[in-house]
Amino acid sequence: MTRPSANPFTPGFGLTPVILAGRDLAIEEFTAALAGNVPEARAILISGARGTGKTVLLSEFRELALEAGWIDLRLHTSSTSLVEELRGQAIAHLRELDPDSETSKLTMARIASVAAQRDIHERYTGELEPLTVVLDRLARLAEEEGGGVLITLDEVQSVDRAPLHALTQHVQDLIGSGHAVAFLAAGVRTGVDALLDHEGATFLRRAHRIEVGSVDVGTAAEAIRMTVADTTKGITPEAAVLAGEISRGYPYLIQLVGSKAWQNSGDADTIEIEDVRGARDAVVAAMIKNVHGPALRGLSPRKREYLRAMLEDEGPSAVGVIAGRMGIESSQQSGFRQRLIEDDLIRPAGRGHVEYSLPYLADALRHEEREGVGADVEPDTGLTRSHRARRER
């Protein structure tokens, strides 16, 4: 008997799923961009709402680049100076690769002493050189191997403009001197739009924009079916279809509903429709807790009122009707409408209509109405002795 597989779903931010739904085209284009010689195609800006798979796509692109022999410089938005971080990362790679580096000579000579290596690290000459020179050398080394230099930056909407501008200047210089360079950034759509709305952002504005979002429900069902097919369990076609519907094609929910249905199936070798049906409440609760809760927490009372005024409608809401329900002028209405669109909470849905952007926002609002703003979704009434009590016993 084979050992049962572990739950294959990845309902957590930044976790790469086994099956990527709806990303074929983007991956094909990026693969072509890496191999080709159109520099513009290698500057990419991924944007979308929370939980739509921006970080996952960024990581996938990075893996493709690494497989093609590129060197990856991964920057973190929390660092105070992106340019300094870029330098640090570039130097670290040069230590490994540069034939002129003392370290690589030593490593090649198989001198294993950690102390000796540390001593040499500190004396690496590249550290004193201008960043342009360092990057130029790194790019040349990467190109000799048929690759290039990849620079990635996730959560770009939280970066300050000045350091971002300084960074993109370096990227542009490198591209300008004919190097193979790819630049990948990802961020929530509205934050990214705000960043671009600035004269220093020309480079980013010209970048190839990939807007990620929900996939169609059929694709979601197929992703769930294929994820299970890779394991020792199976899933009935009806169960996969229902799971796809519950996910509404939203990437985070594809993983969440798959994961809960898997749990519900216990030791059984097939996930049945009942396992999926039974997962729905937990899926909605987790969506409220992890996605809508944080977004609604800081919302102004009037914006919240606007969202609640949409609750009565089954489908899209007419903006005139919303204004009527709120008792405000239509000019005021359009102000709230605009700001809620910027918050990624609603989106236009045909002439004079809006709808909620993400699945189950209506459920989150009803939950708030019942339980109060910011209430826990599933209040945990359990009482556990902490490590203190256990120790003092």
| Site for Mg ion, rule CB under 5 A | 54-55
Q: Based on CB atoms, which residue is closest to ligand ADP, 94 or 358? A: 358
Q: How many angstroms separate the CA atoms of 175 and 202, rounded?
A: 15
CB of 248 to ligand ADP, least distance (A): 13
Q: Name which position in 5, 15, 92, 119 contacts ligand ADP (CB under 6 A).
A: 15
Helix, strand, or coil here: 149?
strand
CA-wise closest residue to 94 among 63, 42, 43, 131: 131
Q: Based on CB atoms, which residue is closest to Mg ion, 54 or 179? A: 54
Segment lying near ligand ADP (by CB under 6 A), choices 48-56, 70-78, 108-116, 139-147: 48-56
Residues 247-276 that bind ligand ADP (CB under 6 A): 251-252, 254-255
CB of 37 to ligand ADP, least distance (A): 28
- Within the chain, strands assigned E span 43-48, 71-75, 149-153, 181-188, 208-211, 234-235, 270-271, 317-318, 346-348, 353-356
Segment lying near ligand ADP (by CB under 6 A), choices 46-54, 303-311, 312-320, 323-331: 46-54
Bridge partners of 183, per DSSP, are: 43, 151
Q: How many angstroms separate the CA atoms of 332 and 348, rounded?
A: 17
Q: How many angstroms separate the CA atoms of 63 and 68, rounded?
A: 9
Residues 126-185 that bind ligand ADP (CB under 6 A): none
List the structure tokens of 336.
Answer: 């709230």
Whether 75 contacts 151, CB under 8 Å: yes
Helix axes 131-144, 82-97, angle to 10 degrees: 40
CB of 55 to Mg ion, least distance (A): 3
Residue 219 touches ligand ADP, criterion: CB under 6 A: no
Segment lying near ligand ADP (by CB under 6 A), choices 14-22, 135-143, 162-170, 343-351: 14-22
Q: Name which position in 48, 148, 163, 293 contacts ligand ADP (CB under 6 A).
A: 48
Q: How many angstroms separate the CA atoms of 375 and 311, rounded?
A: 19
Q: What, of Mg ion, ligand ADP, none, does residue 265 touch, CB below 5 to 8 Å by kind?
A: none
Residue 221 touches ligand ADP, criterion: CB under 6 A: no
Amino acid at position 171, single letter = V
**Virtual torsion, Cα 174, 130, 61, 95, nearest 10 deg:** 130
The closest residue (CB) to Mg ion is 55
Q: Where are the alpha helices (DSSP H) in the chain?
A: 24-35, 54-67, 82-97, 102-108, 114-122, 131-144, 161-176, 189-196, 202-206, 217-229, 237-247, 251-264, 273-277, 280-287, 293-297, 301-309, 319-326, 330-342, 361-371, 387-392
Q: Name which position in 8, 10, 91, 265 contacts ligand ADP (CB under 6 A).
A: 10
Q: Based on CB atoms, which residue is closest to Mg ion, 14 or 176? A: 14
Q: What, of Mg ion, ligand ADP, none, does residue 162 touch, CB below 5 to 8 Å by kind?
A: none
Whether 219 contacts 60, CB under 8 Å: no
Residues 326-345 that bind ligand ADP (CB under 6 A): none
Q: Name which position in 8, 33, 47, 51 contacts ligand ADP (CB under 6 A).
A: 51
Q: What, of Mg ion, ligand ADP, none, does residue 66 touch, CB below 5 to 8 Å by kind?
A: none
Q: Based on CB atoms, which residue is closest to ligand ADP, 149 or 246? A: 246
CB of 176 to ligand ADP, least distance (A): 31
- C-alpha distance across the termini of the chain, in Å: 44
Q: How many angstroms separate the CA atoms of 303 and 311, rounded?
A: 13
Q: Name which position in 4, 5, 14, 230 contacts ligand ADP (CB under 6 A).
A: 14
Residue 217 touches ligand ADP, criterion: CB under 6 A: no
Residue 55 touches ligand ADP, criterion: CB under 6 A: yes
Positions that interact with ligand ADP (CB under 6 A):
10-15, 17, 20-23, 48, 50-56, 223, 251-252, 254-255
